[in-house]
Structure 1
Amino acid sequence: MAIILQYFLKHIWHKSKCLLLILLLPSQLFAQKKDTTKNLKEVKVSSSIPKLQGVTPSQSISSSDFDRYSALTVADAIRDFAGVNIKDYGGIGGIKTVSVRGFGANHTAILYDGVEINDAENGQIDLGKLNLNGVQQITLYNAQPDNILTPARSFASASVIAIKTIHPNLTADKPYQILLGLNGGSFGLLNPYLQWQQRLSNTWSFVVNSYLENANGHYKYKTNGDGTDTTQTRTNTDVSDQEVDGALYWAKNDSNKFNLHINYYNSDRGLPGAVIYYNPFSDERLWNRDVFLQSGYEHTWDDGIHLLLNTKLSQEYTHYTDKYFLNNSGGLNDQYTQREAYQSVALAYHLTSNWETSYAADVSFSKLDANLYNYAYPSRFTLLNALASKLTLNKWLFQGNLLNTYVTEQVRTGKPTPAETVFSPTLMVSFQPFNPNLQLRAFYKDSFREPTFDEQYYFAINNISRNIKPEYAKQYDLGITYRKAFSNWLDYVSFSIDGYYNMVTNKIVAIPNQNPVIASIINLGKVRIEGADISLKTQTKVSNGWREMLSVNYTYQYAVDVTNPNDSYYKQQIPYTPKNTLALNAGVDYNQMGLYYNQVLSSSRYFLSNSNSANYINGYGTADLSFIYKLTVGNKPLVLSAHADNLFNENYMIVRSFPMPGRSFLLSFQITI
């Protein structure tokens, strides 16, 4: 532990102590002048005191805070959350996936306005391609959302990241709002974006978000494995993305509303390869053409019955090439088309004023086509049924649900996975003992995940069959949360700590063969995860135009393989899981200006199961600095911002042999019409 503290203190104090002291100086030090009398204009002050968390741990970030964290994508926005580990392959085009509390990306559901972004092919959502344009709020729930009126899929994962988009809130006097913005900076980045909100009538409105992103992605990095200090340039990192997202809203009132979303995403990017023996060459390319259509309807009757309907149709086209890959075909030229139809129905009813129950049923059909020889062409039918209940008794809150999952598959060649029927219970409880600001909470959750199409069928050629079993996960959590508002110079303090114990059985892993392309996918055994998440957030009240804020998140994870005591890696840390992570964000506002500092520190990791020096990856500490200035020009709100990422030019890797960018700069301009 002493070594860990020494590591953190070294990075914080040797690189950022002066900056942090400036940011956290009390506003009163800047406000000390001779006593004078001035007539001040009336200023409306609103407090953003965090709500006491629900029965399960949750963390949120809103659109007003994205600039504070120098965030352009969902991956950037959530990287400071406690318990979150972003696996980043580097650069603008590098794939970014999330692990929460030691579970892999396949155990985290991504909800877009309540409907899951599903990927039956590989199960991992690239958070780097989820832009923040049009996003109002992102919330991470451990276990599941605390609202029991939700699709059954929301109960099925170990954790949930819920993305909520901006809804029009316009009046007849100003029936439209247009937002224009431009981001530009290092690595040839040019990113214009547009948001158009329109009120059509008292009940109808729409919002359209679109953006373009282009960058060459070239950045310098150092290689010093042999004691030298050689600088090279990362190549094949170019990106060309375009996205259009439109939403139509109808609302008779809060009890009767409808929405329709359509989204199109087009991407062409290079995939930077691993830097092995100082050879950074890569010619891998990835094209994505994704489109989805989703709708939602919500209605509440006078007798208390609450209905929620969600429908989604999606198609994802992926084209991957590597013309220098050594095979009989003269390279790889793989094309995949994934289609899914999804329908959800949920009903909730208050049996009494303090007792609510709900039922949700989801049905989905997924199919994957590919241009691979003798491919399985799998399809999957999934039916989920969830029964949930929530009961409040004085200071106690009890919540539980039982999820039934039925999965069956068909293939054109080979043997399909046997049908599965699984029951997954969840129990949650919270208690406010003697202070309404203090809450104790605990939960137990069962969940499982089916093997993805890639894990089960990608290499099932020439009638080679597999029988990969689902992963089963158990979670235990015990936590305490406290928040208090103050009447003095301090606005609020919010604090939470959670200890957890997780167990994964039948863990699915890929073992390389003599042919590195044809990996062996097997069920390994058991992984045990013990950890703690600690969060602190506070800010001062506005005084003479000044306001300071501080947020700190710390994560400890002991995640080890406990399959076989005879294995050399028994009770050793699983790959790419740091034991210690610390994220700090400090800022100061003065009138219309803001200066914010963000630092993420991660301890060392191992890229293979054996925790030895050959598999060791150094820890790292990166810092970002952001400056924001808000003004009004001709009654038009204008926002100017400047960001310096990796401020101290740290040379580091998150994934072995994939160096991350050094110092970079970003300038942003945004005007609202």
Structure 2
Amino acid sequence: MLLTRIPLRIFSLLIVYALVSAAGLVCAQDIPPPDIPEAEVMPQPGLMPARGLVRIDAVTAYSSAVLPDTVHLEEIRVEATRLFLEDRLHAVRIFRADSSLVQRYRGAPLSSVIENEFPLVVRNYGPAGISSISVRGFGPGQTQILWEGIPVNHPMVGQTDLALYPASAFSSVEFVPGNSAAAYGSGSIAGTVHLGSGSAWRGASVTRTVGDYGLTRAGMDITDFSGPYTISLGASGFSSQNDYGYFDRIRQRDARRANADKEAFSLNGRVAYANGGWKAGSAVWSGYNRGGVPGSVIAGRTAARQNDNWLRWAGNAEYRHETTRYYTHGYYSRHNLDYLDERSRIDSRSISHATGLTAGLTSYISSWITLNGLLQGGRQWIDTNNYDRIRGRTYGAAAMTGVVELPGGFRLFPGLRSDLYSDFGLALSPSIGINLELFDRILILRAQYSNDFSAPSMNDLFWSPGGNPDLKPERGISVEAGASLAWKYRSLFRIALDGTVYRTKFRDGIRWAPVSGSVWSPANVAGLVAEGIELNQEFTLWLAGVRLDIGNMWMQTGISSDTPRFDGDPAVGRQLPYVPERTFKTVISVSHRFFTLFGNRIYTGERFTTADHSSPLDPLDAFTVINAGISVTIGWRNFYTTAGLIFRNLFDEEYEMIAWYPMPLSNRELSITIGYRPRQ
């Protein structure tokens, strides 16, 4: 579609707006930051050693308080694929936890939402350890985490500690397994997670939570909108001793976790404007997390401490003119990570920065063709005593994705992205997907092919000693196919079934190995094959004012190395460490006007601790964890009070997701929320 002179001028103004906003934040980066953290990280199975991020803990308090007849703002939806379509009509499956669902976890870490609501695995080191995501058997570095469309994965290690951030900081969470790099670039071989901010409801609330192991939490949020303006502000803080009991199998005695205390604070705000064809917004998210790092129980009592401190800003603007949408998006991110262990003589300090700018347009060329094109650029740089000097990288990208709607309910999704990095050069990411509606949209078939990549982390490139600046990006070629069946009978019930089969060939994986004495160095030598099945079932019943929701998620995951480390390597063809072959989840809730009962059951199959399955610990036992809770809301005029009680690990299951990192037995949390929501 030809662009007229007026839209081009408007587009130029949008770019100038984002540049000026980003420049203002970058100029502020010299303000001395507070102390922050680094810690213990879980290595990506078979690909790289532990370097990096630590974690914080949190809780799980439920407080749902949706009053009837309240003023409701349209939910802020994240663009999971950069294309505006109903979720079921994409070439990949999209899972969504909206604001009402996220409310259940407002006293908990982000990891609780993701672990309980989505078909994936969270590798949890316990309330005082990190929580990292594993999708389709891949490590956390192969799943891109985005907040307001900007990357959250730490550039030093290329992954995110999900327990670092409170769930209350987000209005929605979306999970897209198998999302192609053509949409969001590096780090999405396994998929993407999208975090939205801003509340969908006008009003204000304060929450107080107490729980076992010295847990206390307080939070508040307020949202107001008038005419074209929306303002949201939220804050939360918590502290916990995490001194839970466990049985020490080595010393054959009861013990308690030590050096596991945590405290954290998070502050987030969002301002948005929408009027006619114009939209603009600015969001800020800042916080800290500090405390002990208990380590494995083999090591006994430790003295390691870690501090994290972060600041993120995102600004966007868009203008719609006739059949074209012009948009621009800028961001700045800073994360301080300090890790200190006097006994081991480790003093690691780092400040990482990232900034970027995107300018693009979505054009509805005709009733059956939609194209989205963008130009993108950014820079990352890190100041740390783990590198020989300040190190950084610059990148640029151009991408084009689209939808071609053909007769008979057939949709075609072509995509191509080209990324240019200052350290390794060019990476091309083509993709093609299809979606086919049958039987009046009751049955939907979908499939996708994609060629994706993950850039080396900054530690891979510049760690001193051992970093390898000549590394290439990791590559993955993925093929998947799926089907969705949904049927609703009047206003009585709805049932939905969904299944996906996939296969990914992973090459040029980065693996660290000893090269001289105690020095390790990475190289592009690892190859993997991942294949599996994902099944999901949802059932909703409405009867006599009661709503019943039941969901089941089943995952069969096989991932193994096809590249020997040495002649006769017994690890070839064996399941990677800490990847369960079978995982099953059930989520159930019963709600009425003033109360909600909810619970979930998570079965995690056997895991291996070594690549060749040779350890006496192999395999770790399968385990089942059941959580349950109740929430009661009482309203008076525009005010309401919600009391929530949750029981985690209801039946005292003794288990370890990771060897020698015991998890808590049954524990409780009680929360009280007092809020105000104006009626229409």
Query: Under a length normalisation based on structure 1, what TM-score does the superposition of the two structures give?
Result: 0.83
Report the counterpart of residue 414 of structure 2 in structure 1: 400
Report the counterpart of residue 264 of structure 1 in structure 2: 286
Q: 1:363-512, aligned counterparts within 5 Å?
A: 363-372=377-386, 375-394=388-407, 395-409=409-423, 419-460=424-465, 467-487=470-490, 489=492, 491-511=493-513
What is the rounded CA distance, in whole Å, between the counterparts of 1:648 and 1:300 in structure 2?
Answer: 55
Gaps of 5+ in 1: 1-41, 171-176, 326-330, 410-418
Residues 589, 513 of structure 1: CA spacing in aligned structure 2 closer, same or farther, 3 A cutoff? farther
Of 228, 232, 236 in structure 2, the residue corresponding to residue 211 of structure 1 is 236
Q: Does the 8 Å CA contact 1:52/1:483 hold for their aligned counterparts?
A: no
Q: Does the 8 Å CA contact 1:145/1:154 hold for their aligned counterparts?
A: no
Of 117, 123, 134 in structure 2, the residue corresponding to residue 99 of structure 1 is 134
Report the counterpart of residue 163 of structure 1 in structure 2: 195
Of 639, 642, 645 in structure 2, the residue corresponding to residue 639 of structure 1 is 642
Report the counterpart of residue 29 of structure 1 in structure 2: none
Q: Does the 8 Å CA contact 2:106/2:166 hold for their aligned counterparts?
A: no
Is 1:111 aligned to 2:114, yes or no?
no
Q: Percentage identity across aligned positions?
A: 17
Residues 285, 512 of structure 1: CA spacing in aligned structure 2 closer, same or farther, 3 A cutoff? farther
Residues 644, 378 of structure 1: CA spacing in aligned structure 2 closer, same or farther, 3 A cutoff? same
Gaps of 5+ in 2: 1-67, 76-85
What is the rounded CA distance, in whole Å, between the counterparts of 1:66 and 1:388 in structure 2?
Answer: 30
Could you report, residue by residue, the CA deviation over 1:387-437 in whole angstroms, capped at 9, with x for unpaired residues?
Answer: 11210112101001111011014xxxxxxxxx3211111110011233411
Look up the equivalent residue of 1:242 and give its one-letter code.
F
Of 52, 57, 82 in structure 1, the residue corresponding to residue 93 of structure 2 is 57
What is the rounded CA distance, in whole Å, between the counterparts of 2:369 and 2:315 in structure 1?
Answer: 29
Look up the equivalent residue of 1:382 and give its one-letter code.
Y
Q: Does the 8 Å CA contact 2:180/2:188 hold for their aligned counterparts?
A: no
Report the counterpart of residue 87 of structure 1 in structure 2: 123
Could you report, residue by residue, the CA deviation over 1:618-671 in whole angstroms, capped at 9, with x for unpaired residues?
Answer: 211111011111111454122111000011111111112111111110111112
What is the rounded CA distance, in whole Å, between the counterparts of 1:355 and 1:529 in structure 2?
Answer: 34
TM-superposed CA distance for 1:313, in Å, is 1.2
Report the counterpart of residue 314 of structure 1 in structure 2: 333
Is 1:250 aligned to 2:285, yes or no?
no
Residues 161, 67 of structure 1: CA spacing in aligned structure 2 closer, same or farther, 3 A cutoff? same
Look up the equivalent residue of 1:600 and give its one-letter code.
I
Q: Does the 8 Å CA contact 2:136/2:190 hold for their aligned counterparts?
A: no
Report the counterpart of residue 56 of structure 2 in structure 1: none
Look up the equivalent residue of 1:261 and give its one-letter code.
A
What is the rounded CA distance, in whole Å, between the counterparts of 1:179 and 1:601 in structure 2?
Answer: 35
What is the rounded CA distance, in whole Å, between the counterparts of 2:106 and 2:608 in structure 1?
Answer: 28
Q: Does the 8 Å CA contact 2:198/2:269 hold for their aligned counterparts?
A: no
* Higher gyration radius (CA): 1
Look up the equivalent residue of 2:223 and give its one-letter code.
Q
Look up the equivalent residue of 2:261 and give its one-letter code.
D
Could you report, residue by residue, the CA deviation over 1:181-236 in whole angstroms, capped at 9, with x for unpaired residues?
Answer: 1121011111100112233x42223111111111111111113358x4x2210111
What is the rounded CA distance, in whole Å, between the counterparts of 1:145 and 1:522 in structure 2?
Answer: 25
TM-superposed CA distance for 1:166, in Å, is 2.7
Report the counterpart of residue 174 of structure 2 in structure 1: 139
Of 315, 329, 354 in structure 2, the residue corresponding to residue 295 of structure 1 is 315
**In angstroms, what is the RMSD of aligned CA positions?**
2.6
Look up the equivalent residue of 1:388 and give its one-letter code.
T
What is the rounded CA distance, in whole Å, between the counterparts of 1:55 and 1:188 in structure 2?
Answer: 46
Could you report, residue by residue, the CA deviation over 1:462-509 in whole angstroms, capped at 9, with x for unpaired residues?
Answer: xx75533321111110110011111264x2001100000011112123
What is the rounded CA distance, in whole Å, between the counterparts of 1:515 and 1:73 in structure 2?
Answer: 40
What is the rounded CA distance, in whole Å, between the counterparts of 1:651 and 1:155 in structure 2?
Answer: 34
Q: Does the 8 Å CA contact 2:144/2:187 hold for their aligned counterparts?
A: no
What is the rounded CA distance, in whole Å, between the counterparts of 2:517 and 2:647 in structure 1?
Answer: 43
What is the rounded CA distance, in whole Å, between the counterparts of 1:541 and 1:502 in structure 2?
Answer: 40
Query: Under a length normalisation based on structure 2, what TM-score does the superposition of the two structures give?
Result: 0.82
Counterpart secondary structure, 1:218:
coil
Report the counterpart of residue 526 of structure 1 in structure 2: 527
Counterpart secondary structure, 2:297:
coil
Residues 66, 371 of structure 1: CA spacing in aligned structure 2 closer, same or farther, 3 A cutoff? same
TM-superposed CA distance for 1:51, in Å, is 6.1
Report the counterpart of residue 372 of structure 2 in structure 1: 358
Residues 487, 169 of structure 1: CA spacing in aligned structure 2 closer, same or farther, 3 A cutoff? closer
TM-superposed CA distance for 1:289, in Å, is 1.6
Of 226, 242, 246 in structure 2, the residue corresponding to residue 221 of structure 1 is 246
Counterpart secondary structure, 2:88:
coil
What is the rounded CA distance, in whole Å, between the counterparts of 2:373 and 2:532 in structure 1?
Answer: 33
Counterpart secondary structure, 1:52:
helix
What is the rounded CA distance, in whole Å, between the counterparts of 1:659 and 1:520 in structure 2?
Answer: 31
Residues 53, 131 of structure 1: CA spacing in aligned structure 2 closer, same or farther, 3 A cutoff? farther
What is the rounded CA distance, in whole Å, between the counterparts of 2:204 and 2:274 in structure 1?
Answer: 22
TM-superposed CA distance for 1:546, in Å, is 2.7
Counterpart secondary structure, 1:576:
coil
Q: 1:550-569, aligned counterparts within 5 Å?
A: 550-564=550-564, 566-569=568-571
Counterpart secondary structure, 2:402:
strand
What is the rounded CA distance, in whole Å, between the counterparts of 2:224 and 2:481 in structure 1?
Answer: 46
What is the rounded CA distance, in whole Å, between the counterparts of 2:580 and 2:105 in structure 1?
Answer: 22
Report the counterpart of residue 606 of structure 1 in structure 2: 608
Report the counterpart of residue 190 of structure 1 in structure 2: 216
Look up the equivalent residue of 1:437 and give its one-letter code.
I
Could you report, residue by residue, the CA deviation over 1:216-273 in whole angstroms, capped at 9, with x for unpaired residues?
Answer: 11111113358x4x221011111111111111111113x3111111221112121121
What is the rounded CA distance, in whole Å, between the counterparts of 1:524 and 1:663 in structure 2?
Answer: 43
Of 237, 240, 252 in structure 1, the residue corresponding to residue 260 of structure 2 is 237
What is the rounded CA distance, in whole Å, between the counterparts of 2:121 and 2:154 in structure 1?
Answer: 20
Residues 584, 360 of structure 1: CA spacing in aligned structure 2 closer, same or farther, 3 A cutoff? same
Could you report, residue by residue, the CA deviation over 1:350-374 in whole angstroms, capped at 9, with x for unpaired residues?
Answer: 11111011211111111111124x6
Residues 358, 70 of structure 1: CA spacing in aligned structure 2 closer, same or farther, 3 A cutoff? closer
Report the counterpart of residue 73 of structure 1 in structure 2: 109
Look up the equivalent residue of 1:447 and give its one-letter code.
D
Q: Does the 8 Å CA contact 2:478/2:504 hold for their aligned counterparts?
A: yes
What is the rounded CA distance, in whole Å, between the counterparts of 1:247 and 1:218 in structure 2?
Answer: 36
What is the rounded CA distance, in whole Å, between the counterparts of 1:377 and 1:231 in structure 2?
Answer: 47
What is the rounded CA distance, in whole Å, between the counterparts of 1:514 and 1:188 in structure 2?
Answer: 46
TM-superposed CA distance for 1:443, in Å, is 0.3
Report the counterpart of residue 127 of structure 1 in structure 2: 162
TM-superposed CA distance for 1:537, in Å, is 0.6
Look up the equivalent residue of 1:452 and give its one-letter code.
S
Look up the equivalent residue of 1:535 and give its one-letter code.
N
What is the rounded CA distance, in whole Å, between the counterparts of 2:499 and 2:206 in structure 1?
Answer: 40
What is the rounded CA distance, in whole Å, between the counterparts of 2:334 and 2:469 in structure 1?
Answer: 27
Look up the equivalent residue of 2:474 and give its one-letter code.
E
Q: Does the 8 Å CA contact 1:82/1:555 hold for their aligned counterparts?
A: no
What is the rounded CA distance, in whole Å, between the counterparts of 2:242 and 2:144 in structure 1?
Answer: 29
Counterpart secondary structure, 2:157:
coil
Q: Does the 8 Å CA contact 1:135/1:165 hold for their aligned counterparts?
A: yes
TM-superposed CA distance for 1:43, in Å, is 11
Counterpart secondary structure, 2:271:
strand
Q: Does the 8 Å CA contact 1:188/1:217 hold for their aligned counterparts?
A: yes
Per mean C-alpha deviation after superposition, the further-off stretch among 584-593 and 187-196 is 584-593
Q: Does the 8 Å CA contact 1:586/1:597 hold for their aligned counterparts?
A: yes
Counterpart secondary structure, 2:167:
coil
Could you report, residue by residue, the CA deviation over 1:322-381 in whole angstroms, capped at 9, with x for unpaired residues?
Answer: 1000xxxxx111110111111111211111111011211111111111124x61432100
Look up the equivalent residue of 1:206 and give its one-letter code.
I
